[in-house]
Chains A and B, each alone.
Chain A
Amino acid sequence: MAKMTLEELRKLRQTAQKTIRTRESAENDIHLTIGMGTSGIAAGAKDTLATLMSELEKHPELNVAVRQTGGLGLEHAEPTLEVRVPGMPVIIYGKVAPDVAQKIVQQHLINKELVDEHIYDRPASDIVDSGSAQ
């Protein structure tokens, strides 16, 4: 990189801030938790995660922490994704293939509308307590 001007430094700081912000978890207001148990991975959770991350990168204005967790107990619906957006109910989505992940970012995180056809609700509370990262 060549010598920077003031504008370039400011721009770099802005970009770099976005990258590092996910590390400062306390400041995030949207929390996504993806089920990465063996069955989740087998069902393609890694692809979902990769898509999710590249999708979020396009929307730096969203302040999102993405966590991974074990199986949520909804093995039949893997890959699963729990979405916590302030002011909205906590939702667990199932069968979140990469294209669904894109849709969730657009519709749930940005437009604040639920993606009805993929809601699998929450599993029984005893499973949430031991299985969820929260």
Chain B
Amino acid sequence: MAYAQYCLICDGTACNSSQSERIYEQIMKYVYDHDLEKTCQVVKTGCFGFCEQGPIVKVLPDEAFYVQVKPEDAADIVREHLLKGRPVSRLIYREKDTDSLGAVDKISFYRKQVRIVLRNCGFIDPESIDEYIAREGYQGLEKALFEMSGEEVLVEVEKSGLRGRGGGGFPTGRKWRFTKEMEADQKYVVCNADEGDPGAYMDRSMLEGDPHSIIEAMAICGYTVGASRGYVYVRAEYPLAVRRLEKALQDAREYGLLGDNILGSDFSFDIEIRLGAGAFVCGEETALLMSIEGMRGMPVQRPPYPAVKGLWGKPTVINNVETFGNIPVIVTRGGDWFAGIGTETSKGTKVFALTGNVNNSGLIEVPMGTTLRDIVFNIGGGIPGGKQFKAVQSGGPSGGMIPAEHMDTPIDYESLAALGSIMGSGGLIVMDEDDSMVDVAKFYLGFTVEESCGKCIPCRLGGRQIEKILEKFANGEGTPEDLQKIEEIGQTMITGSLCGLGKTAPNPVLSSIKYFRHEYEAAFRKDVAETA
């Protein structure tokens, strides 16, 4: 059935929590009242990204972008726009300081974005496998199975230069090759969807908005490395993502895109979901694998890496959701195409969850090499209330603060590391002049202290000690020796901790001391401050 009009309603978690479900019902009601159901298709989609302005309703082909829609606006949208073709101007998004009704591609929030991973998010109905298939869906899998050998797929992934999007930035192709070259009776593919950074929701939005792309990618990975089973480890706190993924798995099985002899080939692959209980450490790959095995999620020493000895001791590829999201496109369009986007060392795009004190918070995807300034001021629309920008925290509790003077740094793995932060999974929290860096550092450290599994000493004790010292600064009782102590303990944690959690936990504190030392000095005890 072809439709003349489409009414896309964002049904990601953010819009869903501000009544998008009810908006959908109301719009449907009026659509039926006016007999429009044959010519206008109403679709619940995944996240549009522009969460600040949600709930969002988009009408195509007119490209009308309605923001902050309420259920009671449904009547106008249907009667005026869908029926009579007159856009409801009071609901259309307007750029700040201008009065023009912007078409979607003219909105600053979208203009600088390049959507590869989020290509289907906010465009298709995530619960419809047919819509995914319509957008080149499962074409990558088809190409891999019938036109390419596993080795050829791997070469494309290597050529693409894709690196892990979960934080570490390890080259994906190399990871796959390790597993591929292992001899084993069973290998596994695991998708890490245990997203836990405060303010980060990239993985959730992808699973909610385009679950099939993850399924397709995992099957391609299985074919490439010789694995027949996959697991998606996802937090139980993401009920909508889990539900849509379950539906997608079921549909894929019914279509024969998962299961035995996929599409009549001799390749068999299936995926199971494992729910995590929300422990942050389970996002660490070895802890995650233990949790899948049914044990308490605790990191173990690497090497051996999971690629060699992973789930139940078998070679296992473990990649983050966003990493997988790139795979179908890389296979369909080729590694060279992908490598043409981004910087020298970091290819492709990166999805960020832009939050904090910024006008347009939301989910964005930009080419690697985009500057922080572009992200915060052009896409993000700057700081609300005319306040001064102070810093961006990237990489969540494992990352660091990046101050204003480094705003023009093109973002990639190396440049962020050089600034004392990390790419991380892609949380970007914007802070303005009123935010105390000591408080922010204390917040993040408090988070990692809480989430430390307690297995290794540097992380278990180090974090606790730094937190205690930060307490002193919060009460204006700090001393110069305290600062030195923080740095010493921090270095010990970085070098001595068992896993990434402890190794990166001091980053927010250390980077805030590096760039905002004066704020710590302002919190020195009175007598010390005078002598200093």
Contacts from A to B (Cβ < 8 Å): 1-6, 9-10, 12-13, 16-20, 22-23, 25, 28, 33-34, 36-38, 41, 46, 49-50, 52-53, 56-57, 65-70, 133
Complex Cα distance, B4 from A50, in Å, reads 9
7 A-B residue pairings within 8 Å (CB atoms): A3-B259, A6-B265, A13-B133, A16-B133, A23-B61, A53-B39, A68-B85
> Given the known A-B contacts A19-B2, A22-B2, are A68 and B82 also in contact in the complex, defined by CB atoms under 8 Å?
yes
| A20–B124 CB distance below 8 A | yes
| B62–A53 CB distance below 8 A | no
Complex Cα distance, B256 from A17, in Å, reads 20
* Interface residue tally for chain B (C-beta within 8 Å): 39
With a CB–CB cut-off of 8 A, which chain B residues contact A70? 84-86
Stretch in B137-145, B155-163, B182-190, B421-429 touching the partner = B137-145
List 5 tightest A-B contacts by C-beta distance, closest first: A3-B256, A25-B61, A68-B85, A16-B134, A69-B85
With a CB–CB cut-off of 8 A, which chain B residues contact A9? 133, 138, 142, 255, 257, 263
| B85–A67 CB distance below 8 A | yes
Cβ of B6 within 8 Å of any chain A Cβ, yes or no, is yes
| B264–A57 CB distance below 8 A | no
| B135–A68 CB distance below 8 A | no
With a CB–CB cut-off of 8 A, which chain A residues contact B61? 22-23, 25, 28, 65-67
Cβ of B254 within 8 Å of any chain A Cβ, yes or no, is yes
Q: Which listed residue (A10, A19, A68, A133) contacts B134, Cβ 8 A?
A: A19
Cβ of B523 within 8 Å of any chain A Cβ, yes or no, is no
- Cβ of B4 to closest chain A Cβ, rounded Å: 4
Looking across the interface, which residue of chain A has its beta carbon closest to that of B132?
A: A16
Complex Cα distance, B256 from A3, in Å, reads 4
Cβ of B522 within 8 Å of any chain A Cβ, yes or no, is no
| A68–B264 CB distance below 8 A | no
Complex Cα distance, B86 from A67, in Å, reads 10
With a CB–CB cut-off of 8 A, which chain A residues contact B133? 9, 12-13, 16
With A6-B142, A13-B136, A53-B39 given, can you name 11 additional A-B contacts, CB distance below 8 Å? A4-B263, A6-B146, A10-B142, A23-B60, A25-B61, A41-B84, A46-B35, A56-B2, A66-B4, A69-B86, A70-B84
| A1–B255 CB distance below 8 A | yes
| B84–A37 CB distance below 8 A | yes
With a CB–CB cut-off of 8 A, which chain A residues contact B265? 6
| B2–A18 CB distance below 8 A | yes
With a CB–CB cut-off of 8 A, which chain B residues contact A2? 254, 256
With a CB–CB cut-off of 8 A, which chain B residues contact A34? 85
Cβ of B73 within 8 Å of any chain A Cβ, yes or no, is no
With a CB–CB cut-off of 8 A, which chain A residues contact B38? 50, 53
Q: Which listed residue (A4, A13, A67) contacts B139, Cβ 8 A?
A: A13
With a CB–CB cut-off of 8 A, which chain B residues contact A16? 130-131, 133-134
Looking across the interface, which residue of chain B has its beta carbon closest to that of A31?
A: B61
Complex Cα distance, B256 from A4, in Å, reads 5
Looking at chain B's contact residues, the main secondary structure is: loop
Complex Cα distance, B265 from A9, in Å, reads 13
Q: Which listed residue (B4, B137, B256) contacts A13, Cβ 8 A?
A: B137
| A20–B131 CB distance below 8 A | yes
Output the residue of B35, B133, B137, B264 with the most chain A CB within 10 A. B133
Contacts from B to A (Cβ < 8 Å): 1-6, 35, 38-39, 60-63, 82-86, 123-124, 130-131, 133-139, 142, 146, 254-257, 259, 263-265
Complex Cα distance, B108 from A59, in Å, reads 37
With a CB–CB cut-off of 8 A, which chain B residues contact A67? 4-5, 61-62, 85
Complex Cα distance, B120 from A16, in Å, reads 15
With a CB–CB cut-off of 8 A, which chain B residues contact A37? 84
Output the residue of B4, B123, B264 with the most chain A CB within 10 A. B4
- Cβ of A59 to closest chain B Cβ, rounded Å: 10
> Given the known A-B contacts A4-B257, A13-B139, A68-B83, are A25 and B263 also in contact in the complex, defined by CB atoms under 8 Å?
no
Looking across the interface, which residue of chain B has its beta carbon closest to that of A25?
A: B61
| A41–B130 CB distance below 8 A | no
With a CB–CB cut-off of 8 A, which chain A residues contact B60? 22-23, 25
| A36–B2 CB distance below 8 A | no
Looking across the interface, which residue of chain B has its beta carbon closest to that of A17?
A: B134
Complex Cα distance, B61 from A66, in Å, reads 8
Complex Cα distance, B142 from A6, in Å, reads 7
With a CB–CB cut-off of 8 A, which chain A residues contact B263? 4-6, 9
| B264–A6 CB distance below 8 A | yes
- Cβ of B465 to closest chain A Cβ, rounded Å: 57
With a CB–CB cut-off of 8 A, which chain B residues contact A10? 142
> Given the known A-B contacts A13-B133, A41-B83, are A68 and B5 also in contact in the complex, defined by CB atoms under 8 Å?
yes
| A13–B134 CB distance below 8 A | yes
With a CB–CB cut-off of 8 A, which chain A residues contact B85? 33-34, 36, 67-70, 133
- Cβ of A118 to closest chain B Cβ, rounded Å: 20
- Cβ of A55 to closest chain B Cβ, rounded Å: 10
Complex Cα distance, B158 from A117, in Å, reads 62
| B4–A68 CB distance below 8 A | yes
- Cβ of A122 to closest chain B Cβ, rounded Å: 17
Complex Cα distance, B59 from A65, in Å, reads 13
| A57–B130 CB distance below 8 A | no
With a CB–CB cut-off of 8 A, which chain B residues contact A68? 4-5, 82-85
With a CB–CB cut-off of 8 A, which chain A residues contact B138? 9, 13
Complex Cα distance, B60 from A61, in Å, reads 20
> Given the known A-B contacts A1-B254, A13-B134, are A57 and B84 also in contact in the complex, defined by CB atoms under 8 Å?
no
With a CB–CB cut-off of 8 A, which chain A residues contact B6? 22-23
With a CB–CB cut-off of 8 A, which chain B residues contact A12? 130, 133
Complex Cα distance, B124 from A125, in Å, reads 37
Complex Cα distance, B86 from A37, in Å, reads 9
- Cβ of B356 to closest chain A Cβ, rounded Å: 33
Complex Cα distance, B129 from A3, in Å, reads 13
Q: Which listed residue (A18, A22, A23, A65) contacts B123, Cβ 8 A?
A: A23
With a CB–CB cut-off of 8 A, which chain B residues contact A65? 61
With a CB–CB cut-off of 8 A, which chain B residues contact A20? 124, 131, 134-135
Complex Cα distance, B61 from A33, in Å, reads 11
- Cβ of B64 to closest chain A Cβ, rounded Å: 10
